[in-house]
Amino acid sequence: MWGSAAGRGLRRPRGTARLCSCEAGAASKLAKSERRAAKKKAAEKYRCHPMAEPPPPSAFPPNGGRDFFHFELLHQSKKSGARVGRIHTPHGVVDTPGFVGVATNGAFKALDHRLGDDAGLQLMFCNTYHMLLQPGPEVVEKAGGLHKFINRERPIITDSGGFQVFSMAEGSVHDELNMKKKSNAKGGVAPPTSVLKISEEGAAFRSYVDGRRVLLTPESSVRAQKALGADIIIPLDELPPYHISAQRLEESVARTHRWEARSLFEHLADVRQQAMYCVLHGGVDEAQRLKSVEYLTALPFDGFAIGGSLGKDRAELMQLLKFLMPLLPTGPAAKPNHLLGIADVESIEEAVPFGVDTFDSCFPLRIGRHGTLLTPRGRLYVKRGKYREDYGPIDPGCDCPVCRNHSLAYIHHLFRAKEPMAWTLCTLHNLHYMCDMMARIRQQIIAGEI
Ligand SMILES: [Zn+2]
């Protein structure tokens, strides 16, 4: 599921609900003309050349630290770029390198997030796109923010919502590559989309929940993330497709920089106890990546998310990290970095030596729900007939509650009987596996093995 939209918690829009049910008559006409006037005004306000420069770093306050958020570098490997650190947030510490569990709607699917705490999970990733549509940021804000709403004491990160919107508009790299194959065979298949318009102002799309029109702008995304109240927030960026011309990529990086600058202004006007990471762009083009690093590291962001198109496969991602990671500030100027949407075991093992701090993906938990279990010997597919009478645990070396209490035969039976408990148990084991693996990796870096 390389770089798939589903890997970042994308749910496809359902049905074709109407945009809105306007009242008939004069009121409706008036509302329409007002909307047209507002659109025209916005179009004029945001009209700019595709290559317009973003505001210079001098337009922002100095690139200083925060008293509620900082990165503590504990150990730098002499053998590679790998490092061990601690991200201090208002809701506690995140040990790095660390796995970040994706709780799209503020919940791990089929698993109480408190069980994630027991597994050692420190940072949880919630998707603004989904929370924006259901239950809505105002509902979460009234509850006192995400931490209170879902009753979590540990750190939370939210994204801008842009990834899901652009995946709907363009498809993910995975979709794109598959689409290309299909289009070769069958003469073209258009990706499903409910995106209405992407402009300098932002991205307008149709809600999959109730069909209403939603305009996601750099400012509205930050406001939504203020209402959600996560410890770490992410600015809106434009996610172009993988197959893109050099000129289109250049324009996209320029727009992303303008959007990130707008996001940062909005954030700095009301920081609260939130840190904002920039999103480094440029696809697999080294000149564009360098340009993105140079501009964004000069702005007062609190960390770096590695985003944009991350390549068509793992080899291309590693090539990108090899080039990109040494460009980021080190030593006392070091800030935490986060690889967006990639957290399979193999990618983590290959990316850690380049100095990546945190990884998020719903992939390890999702494969659990489908019966694939992570073990030191590789993946185990528990639905296979050979486990029908296997009374041993998933992994004799695993100390998780599932391995301590249940056999493969029992879990196999639960899947066959379609008991939802099967999802819970497999999700829990895989979450433990990821957290244990990260703890082991941290030890190996400190021991000089990585
Ligand atoms: Zn286990």
* 393 lies in the same domain as 338: no
Taking the centre of ligand 1 as the mean of its atom positions, its distance from the CA of residue 429, in whole angstroms, is 4
174 belongs to a structural domain: no
Q: Per-residue DSSP letters for 152-172?
A: --S-EEE--SHHHHHHHHH--
177 belongs to a structural domain: no
- C-alpha 198/C-alpha 260 separation (Å) is 16
83 belongs to a structural domain: yes
* 287 lies in the same domain as 341: yes
Cis peptide, bond prior to residue 97, ω within 30 of zero = yes
* 248 lies in the same domain as 111: yes
* 388 lies in the same domain as 354: no
Taking the centre of ligand 1 as the mean of its atom positions, its distance from the CA of residue 434, in whole angstroms, is 10
From 339, 361, 383, the end of a domain falls on 361
Does pLDDT of 192 surpass 70?
no
CATH for 349: 3.20.20.105
- C-alpha 320/C-alpha 151 separation (Å) is 38
Taking the centre of ligand 1 as the mean of its atom positions, its distance from the CA of residue 399, in whole angstroms, is 6
73 belongs to a structural domain: yes
Question: For 337-374, how does the pLDDT look when each residue is reduced to its tens digit (9 = 90+)?
Answer: 999 999 999 999 999 999 999 999 999 999 999 999 99
Question: For 122-155, how does the pLDDT look when each residue is reduced to its tens digit (9 = 90+)?
Answer: 999 999 999 999 999 999 999 999 999 999 999 9
User: Whole-model pTM?
Assistant: 0.89
- The domain tally of the chain equals 2
How many residues can be counted in the chain? Answer: 450
From 326, 361, 396, the end of a domain falls on 361
Q: Per-residue DSSP letters for 255-296?
A: HHHHHHHHHHHHHHTT-TT-EEEEEE--TT-HHHHHHHHHHH
What percentage of the chain's residues is helix, strand, coil (to nearest 5)? Answer: 45, 15, 40
- Marked catalytic residue, from 95, 159, 231, 395: 159
* 231 lies in the same domain as 82: yes
* 298 lies in the same domain as 370: no
Question: For 386-445, how does the pLDDT look when each residue is reduced to its tens digit (9 = 90+)?
Answer: 999 999 999 999 999 999 999 999 999 999 999 999 999 999 999 999 999 999 999 999
How many Å separate Cα 358 from the centre of its chain? 11
- Marked catalytic residue, from 237, 285, 302, 360: 360
* 222 lies in the same domain as 354: yes
Instruction: Show the domain range for 384.
Output: 363-450
360 in active site = yes
Q: Which of 206-215, 311-320, 436-445 has the lowest mean pLDDT?
A: 206-215
Rounded mean pLDDT, 225-232: 98
Taking the centre of ligand 1 as the mean of its atom positions, its distance from the CA of residue 419, in whole angstroms, is 19
pLDDT at 208: 87
- C-alpha 332/C-alpha 330 separation (Å) is 6
390 in active site = no
From 361, 382, 409, the end of a domain falls on 361
